A and B are shown apart, each in its own frame.
Chain A
Amino acid sequence: MASQWLKDNQLPANFHQWFEENQAPDSELMSDNPSGPVPTIQNIVSTVNLACNLNLAEISLKTMNSEYNPKRFSAVIMRIKEPKTTALIFASGKMVCTGAKTEQESRLAARKFARVVQKLGFPVRFNGFRIQNMVGSCDVKFPVRLENMICGHEVYSVYEPEIFPGLIYRMKKPRVTILVFASGKIVIAGAKKKEDIFTAFDNIYPVLEQYKRV
């Protein structure tokens, strides 16, 4: 009897392949309504202190992937291909890393930049790595009436179509800035944690639905 049941309820042959292919992305797992749209993280900015004074001219000369133009900007701009990121390295040893799409990527990239500088002979450390800003974007797939939205949420919104076509919504909790465009596309910026972006989106989605243009 048990063996009969087992034969009837076999997993399909390609189960393992199907399982690997259909993993929900991290972002979907984190949000409240995974069936709806979810924001994707587009950019992460982080800073780290290499804790030693650097000779920017030497760094820019000895590396192929950097530019240094002291008259324009007093930092070396270095780029690496994997993860595709850009770093601003200052003479004081402080470094800003931009362009990563996940926190782990940002940390990895910062470590790679630090390694490059270390290989040139400087006694670098990796102090105080901190994510400063995360930017995510999303499309709610329906047009939004911005001129009505500002009437309802005057305290938080700024909408001046002559100046900028998008509505600038400054949410207090979590403390992020959301740009809402009439097409329904939104940009969430100023978050320090991934959860902030998803919470902000969950907060703003009902508001956008309220001002949907029919």
Chain B
Amino acid sequence: MSEENYCMDCRRRTTVVLDRASGDAVCLECGLVLESRFIDETAEWRNFADDSSGHDPNRVGSPVNPLLGDTVLSTVVSGGPASGLSRLCRRPDPDNVLFAFNTIADMADRLSLVATIKDRACEMYKKLHDLKSTRGKKLEILAAACIFIACRQEGKSRTVKEVCSIVNGRECINRAGMKEFNRAVEFIKEKLKVEMGESFIEMGTANAGDYLKRFCSKLGMSHEDTRIVGETIHNLEQLDIRRSPISIAAAVIFMINQLTGSKISLRDIARVTMVGEGTIKNTYRDLQPYAHRILPERCVKGWDLKNLGPV
């Protein structure tokens, strides 16, 4: 490890130590690094005849995706017009699993979802594929339904309209599209009920509380205002308001914004929550009689409830 070598700074032969961990040859007298990036050419591991454990230290190729499993080598031959070799490489992946995973990844990106949700959705799709349930169903809709269920399971629900809006090739969100989407969700729940057991279907339903934090932050509301919205929604759970929870959330946000005098307009709220402006107004009118009951007490004192005029 240490030997005598000529050091440039000391201008004489000094003891030089080869540190294999960092790959440096260092002069002991002055600390100058004489040679870096030393390449160790000894064997990295030893092979034994009886050692057949799963751990294979050979590192070849890209990391194995446990969902895709055994298939999918990622080398392709390119260049030149459809030559025989590139045609061979263009072997289609069986039943579009890879394409489905890419679609799911795209849609998850559009919704800015974390990797856990995306992986859960991919896992769900793979299970469906193993059950051969993906045949005859539109891939994008199934993928979107997987994402929707994965979001629900993680507790980070996305509204049906939000998920429908990012489905490939479908820009408009209409009743027919949502019906088809809902059918896909029911289908997946039906098929995977046996596989994943009871905990799978215990997903519960959408309530306003899940969405309000996201809506508020998208609109740029302050933390205090967000908390007030949350408390208001919690208070109105006893009331009998026959409206979709998203509409209720939007109307409450609108009411709080009116009271705090912020610049967020009805149109912004309609855009972010994907609820129609007319619906928000109607829901707001439904809520108005109960305003003093549902708003948290500490805020009612500060505000002038007469500001809650008719819209």
Interface residues of A (CB under 8 A from B): 143, 146-147, 150-151, 154-155, 158-163, 165, 182-183, 213
**What residues make up the interface of B, taking CB atoms closer than 8 Å to A?**
159-161, 178-179, 182, 186, 201-207, 240, 242, 244-246
A99 smallest CB distance to B (angstroms): 26
Whether A155 lies near B201 (C-beta < 8 A) is yes
Asked if residues A154 and B202 are in contact (CB atoms below 8 Å), the reply is: yes
Nearest residue in B to A164 (C-beta to C-beta)? B182
Residues of B within 8 A of A150 (CB): 204-205
The answer to whether B206 and A161 have CB atoms under 8 Å apart is yes
Residue in contact with A183 in the complex, picked from B160, B186, B242, B246, CB distance below 8 Å: B242
Contact pick for A182, options B160, B178, B242, CB 8 Å: B242
Separation of A147 and B208 alpha carbons in the complex (Å): 11
A182-B242, A213-B240 known; A161-B205 Cβ under 8 A: yes
A118 to B201, CA, bound (A): 54
Are B201 and A161 interface neighbours, CB within 8 A?
A: no
Q: A154-B202, A165-B244 are in contact. List 9 more A-B contacts (CB 8 A).
A: A150-B205, A158-B186, A159-B205, A161-B244, A161-B246, A162-B160, A162-B244, A165-B242, A182-B240
Structural contact, A151 and B204, CB atoms closer than 8 A? yes
Q: How far is the CA of A158 from the CA of B190 in the complex (A)?
A: 11
Q: Is the CB of B182 within 8 A of A160?
A: yes
* Closest CB in chain A relative to B50 CB, distance in Å: 52
Query: Is the Cβ of B182 less than 8 Å from the Cβ of A163?
Result: yes
Shortest beta-carbon distance from B286 to chain A in Å: 13
- The distance from the CB of B240 to the nearest CB of chain A, in whole angstroms, is 5
Residues of chain A contacted by B246 (CB below 8 angstroms): 161-162
Q: Nearest CB to that of B244 among chain A residues?
A: A161
Which residue from chain A places its CB closest to the CB of B245 in the assembled complex?
A161
Write the nearest CB–CB distance from A115 to chain B, whole angstroms. Answer: 40
- Knowing A150-B205, A151-B204, the reply to whether A162 touches B242 (Cβ < 8 A) is no
Q: How far is the CA of A98 from the CA of B59 in the complex (A)?
A: 70
Q: Closest residue of chain B to A181, judged by CB?
A: B242
User: Are the CB atoms of B242 and A160 closer together than 8 Å?
Assistant: no
* Cα A158 to Cα B201 with chains together (Å): 10
Which are the 5 A-B pairs with shortest beta-carbon distances? A161-B244, A162-B160, A163-B182, A182-B242, A150-B205
Residue pair B204, A162 in contact (C-beta under 8 Å): no
Complex CA gap A213/B203 in Å reads: 22
With both chains docked as a complex, state the minimum distance between the C-beta of A152 and any C-beta of chain B, in angstroms: 11
A151 to B178: give the CA distance in the assembly, Å: 23
- In whole Å, how far is A167's beta carbon from the nearest beta carbon of chain B? 9
Inter-chain contacts of A146 with B (CB < 8 A): 205
Q: B201 near A162 (CB under 8 angstroms)?
A: no
Kindly list chain A residues whose C-beta atoms are within 8 Å of the C-beta of B242: 165, 182-183
Given A182-B240, A213-B240, decide whether A160 and B206 contact each other with a Cβ distance below 8 A. Answer: yes
CA distance A160 to B244 in the complex (A): 9
B282 to chain A, nearest CB (A): 14
Among B179, B202, B207, B240, the residue within 8 A (CB) of A163 is B179
Is the pair B178, A162 in contact by a Cβ cutoff of 8 Å? Answer: yes
- A159 cross-chain contacts in B, Cβ below 8 A: 205
What is the bound-complex CA distance between A151 and B203, given in angstroms? 8
A162 to B208, CA, bound (A): 11
30 CB-based A-B contacts, threshold 8 Å: A143-B240, A146-B205, A147-B205, A147-B207, A150-B204, A150-B205, A151-B204, A151-B205, A154-B201, A154-B202, A154-B204, A155-B201, A160-B182, A160-B205, A160-B206, A161-B206, A161-B244, A161-B245, A162-B159, A162-B160, A162-B161, A162-B206, A163-B160, A163-B179, A163-B182, A165-B244, A182-B240, A182-B242, A183-B242, A213-B240
CB-nearest residue of chain B relative to A158? B186
Cα of A143 to Cα of B239 in the assembled complex, Å = 11
Closest to B241 in A: A182
Chain B residue contacts of A155, Cβ below 8 A: 201
Q: How far is the CB of A149 from chain B (nearest CB, A)?
A: 10
A182 to B245, CA, bound (A): 13
Nearest residue (CB) in B for A144 is B240
Q: How far is the CB of A169 from chain B (nearest CB, A)?
A: 13
CA separation between A147 and B205, bound complex, in Å?
A: 7
